[in-house]
Amino acid sequence: MTVANPLLDFSGLPRFDEIRPEHVGPALDVLLADAEAAVAAAEQVSPVTWSSFVVPLDDATERLWRAWGQVSHLQSVVNSPALREAYNENLPRITRFGTALGQNLALFEQYRRLASAEQGDALDAAQRKVLDNALRDFRLGGAELAPEQQARFGAIKEELSALSAKFSQNVLDATDAWSLLIDDPARLAGLPEDVVHAARMAAEKEGRPGWKLTLQMPCYLPVQTWAEDRALRETLYQASAQRASEFGDPALDNGPSIDRILALRAELAALLGFASYADYSVATKMARDPAEVLGFLRDLAARARPFAVRDRSELEQFAREHLGIDDLQAWDLAYAADKLKQARYSYGEQEVKAYFTEPKVLAGLFSVIEQLYGLQVQPDVAPVWHPDVRFYRLVDAQGALVGQFYLDLYAREGKRGGAWMDDCRNRRVLADGRVQTPLVYLVCNFGAGSDGRPATFSHNEVTTLFHEMGHGLHQLLTRIGELAVAGINGVEWDAVELPSQFMENFCWEWEHLQAMTAHVDTGEPLPRALYERMLAARNFHSGMATVRQLEFGLFDMLLHSQHQAGQDSVLALLQRVRDEVAVNHPPHWNRFPHQFSHIFAGGYAAGYYSYKWAEVLSADAYAAFEEAPGALAQTGARFRDEILGRGGSRSAADNFQAFRGRAPSIDALLRHSGMAG
């Protein structure tokens, strides 16, 4: 029997082709009522056992989070006014339930009874970790606050949820709202043929002559990298740099939201007795405290900055002597860097891009997965939210299903920028012994193919795809049966990038790289000579790239640990950070914080350092494969067993120690980045 409301159907795969905005409210009416009833029952159950207390509570809340996850996902990939209205209308209900759950003293006491009872001693390691995390999260969720403080805590959480959603929506709307119509083809000189064609099609779609340029990444990045028209690069750069700020539509200005978000986060942390929001955030991470994070970032900056200074100096000299640019500006950086790379290594992204055709890249990615883990990726069928979306299944050597994933590769209006992985359904061993297999989303924003030709990807885009697949494999290859610590659930936030960054390394190995290439015109694989030039250029400007990431990480951590709202401006703090570590200084009108969705609309608040922190782990983990070049499958099996398969059931430090046999070392990261000397 088909359930009328697709958001209430958990019998199989989500019915994405049927979900409509009008389904959201009625589905949540049912699911919230069920979850609240399960909470009420769990408060009274006696004796408290895993099967009588945790399992029924998980049953009800999982259905709620899965349905809301589908709504949130659609809001990110096929945003529409009606869907946004339904999302914003119901977000406070979800937030209130989550906050109340985290503050429920009766449940807190039940978890404590379970942890201290004789039954608690019989629980397995994953279940013990669930209990430990739950007790910690109740304290961090305000369960021990006085009633009036709990009410304020809940109000803060609700307002923060709304502000974060609005922040993300403003960036999306500001991106989609801007376009530039070009009527002179000479202004497009230097742009790849596929980009020019896409711009022509975008104009034709609106019944207009000429070429339509946008701030979507498949258009914006090529303009910045290859457009010979310097004024055109500046126009798009400025439009992008000022999105969602006071320079545009006042309704889309994220400035007031930033100030309010920071004030609320500081108040929330103070309610729980933390000195700052950064202290609150780090309480669930590998790092011990904000001081350790700041020390880590500044130590790495001291190592990287001399290389970054050299990179900048060389680029300025090249631009002056060969491009006639005496005042190297932000909109010249990518363009000049590509020209210098071509001059130095006879290598440019545009030349390489022609070899990375989508079918070969996907086949190469799936081949790496098979070689590492003995698993096959096979095409599968599922209802999808857009015709571009593909669906795959992951099976083991016996043909048993391990998990499934959606792949949404292309940029389009109404789709949030960037690339990400998210879980749709987590692995779980059900009460009857059946295994609920994981289901994930992999989302990118690449340019699509046209006129019967496949899409081609830059090497950076190939690396992005491998990165997101690494996150996906962390979720898909878990062997844990408890929802709260399966896959990435329960993994310390500063370790979640380990599997994703680890996968990027295989985009540089000749055996794998050659196998994923076929020239879009000739079908020829990547020539070895071109690969050697790519390899020589691998660490081109790695100093500048490193300090750029450190700039973001330091800004984020200082913003949430030392920034005093009302006494100092966010932009002034960012400038001080740039004065400390940066070598590239954007114009004064650049409004980067207004688009910094990672920390204002994502999960990286006081956690952006995680990218570099985890890169130490991922580089050192990959070094284990370098040290055993003939044992790819054997080392891959150990990596799956000790890191991917464990999920959050064991600390990330213990996972790494078990895989590597020692604590992590920064040496591999410095070596891979060309900064070991």
- Quick: pLDDT tens for 472-530: 999 999 999 999 999 999 999 999 999 999 999 999 999 999 999 999 999 999 999 99
For residue 373, the Cα-to-chain-centroid distance in whole angstroms is: 23
Query: DSSP label at 187?
Result: G
Proportion of the chain above pLDDT 90, given as a percent: 95
CB 4 within 8 A of CB 16: no
pLDDT at 388 over 70: yes
Please tell me the number of Cα atoms within 13 Å of 244 on its side-chain side. Answer: 24
For residue 156, the Cα-to-chain-centroid distance in whole angstroms is: 25
Q: What is the per-residue pLDDT for 568?
A: 81
CB 293 within 8 A of CB 557: yes
Q: Where do you find CATH 1.10.1370.10 in the chain?
A: 252-348+542-608
Q: What are phi and psi of 409, to 5 degrees?
A: -90, -30
Query: β-strand 435-436 against 179-182: which pairing, if any?
Result: unpaired
Residues designated as active site? 468
CB 272 within 8 A of CB 282: no
From the list 607, 621, 611, 612, the residue with the least C-alpha distance to 664 is 621
pLDDT in tens, 246-299: 999 999 999 999 999 999 999 999 999 999 999 999 999 999 999 999 999 999
Query: β-strand 401-410 against 439-446: which pairing, if any?
Result: parallel
CB 497 within 8 A of CB 614: yes
Determine the Cα–Cα distance for residues 655 and 125; give it in Å rounded to an integer.
Answer: 13
Mean pLDDT across the chain, nearest whole number?
A: 96
Q: Of how many residues is the chain composed?
A: 677
Please tell me the number of Cα atoms within 13 Å of 634 on its side-chain side. Answer: 7
Task: Tell me what the mean pLDDT of segment 549-555 comes to.
Answer: 98
CB 224 within 8 A of CB 217: no
Task: Tell me what the mean pLDDT of segment 104-133 comes to.
Answer: 88
Residue 163's CB: how many other CB atoms inside 10 A?
Answer: 19
pLDDT in tens, 430-470: 989 999 999 999 999 999 998 889 999 999 999 999 999 99
Q: What is the per-residue pLDDT for 659?
A: 98
Query: DSSP label at 46?
Result: S
Give the largest Cα separation in the chain, rounded. Answer: 80
CB 345 within 8 A of CB 533: yes
Residue 391's CB: how many other CB atoms inside 10 A?
Answer: 16
Q: Where do you find CATH 1.20.1050.40 in the chain?
A: 6-144
Q: pLDDT band for position 116 (50/70/90)?
A: confident
Q: Where do you find CATH 3.40.390.10 in the chain?
A: 358-482+496-521
What are 376's strand-pairing partners?
Answer: 395
DSSP symbols for 428-455: EE-TTS-EE--EEEEEEEEPPPBTTBPP
Fold of 6-144: Glutathione S-transferase Yfyf (Class Pi); Chain A, domain 2 (1.20.1050)
From the list 533, 663, 603, the residue with the least C-alpha distance to 72 is 603
From the list 487, 553, 564, the residue with the least C-alpha distance to 262 is 564
DSSP symbols for 505-566: GGGG-HHHHHHT---TTT-PPPPHHHHHHHHHTTTTTHHHHHHHHHHHHHHHHHHHHT--BT
Please tell me the number of Cα atoms within 13 Å of 641 on its side-chain side. Answer: 11
Q: pLDDT band for position 347 (50/70/90)?
A: confident
Determine the Cα–Cα distance for residues 256 and 246; give it in Å rounded to an integer.
Answer: 10
Determine the Cα–Cα distance for residues 541 and 318; give it in Å rounded to an integer.
Answer: 13
Amino acid in position 86: A
Task: Tell me what the mean pLDDT of segment 326-353 comes to.
Answer: 94
**CATH superfamily name and code, 358-482+496-521:** Collagenase (Catalytic Domain) (3.40.390.10)
Please tell me the number of Cα atoms within 13 Å of 496 on its side-chain side. Answer: 25
Q: What are phi and psi of 210, to 5 degrees?
A: 85, -150
Q: What are phi and psi of 6, to 5 degrees?
A: -60, -25
Q: What is the CATH number of domain 252-348+542-608?
A: 1.10.1370.10
Residue 499 to residues 293, 422, 428, 530, 552: CA-CA distances in angstroms? Answer: 21, 14, 21, 28, 21
Instruction: Provide the 3-class DSSP secondary structure of residue 157.
Output: helix
CA distance from start to end of the chain? 66
Q: What is the per-residue pLDDT for 677?
A: 63
pLDDT at 120 over 60: no
3-state helix/strand/coil string of 218-271:
HHHHHHHHHCCCHHHHHHHHHHHHCCCCCCCCHHHCCHHHHHHHHHHHHHHHHH
- Identify the burial level of 30 via C-beta atoms within 10 angstroms of its C-beta, where 0-12 means exposed, 13-18 middle and 19 or more buried: middle
Task: Tell me what the mean pLDDT of segment 323-327 comes to.
Answer: 97
CB 497 within 8 A of CB 655: no
For residue 607, the Cα-to-chain-centroid distance in whole angstroms is: 12
Please tell me the number of Cα atoms within 13 Å of 481 on its side-chain side. Answer: 12
Sheet holding 401-410, edge to edge: 376-379, 390-395, 401-410, 439-446, 420-425
Task: Tell me what the mean pLDDT of segment 579-589 comes to.
Answer: 97
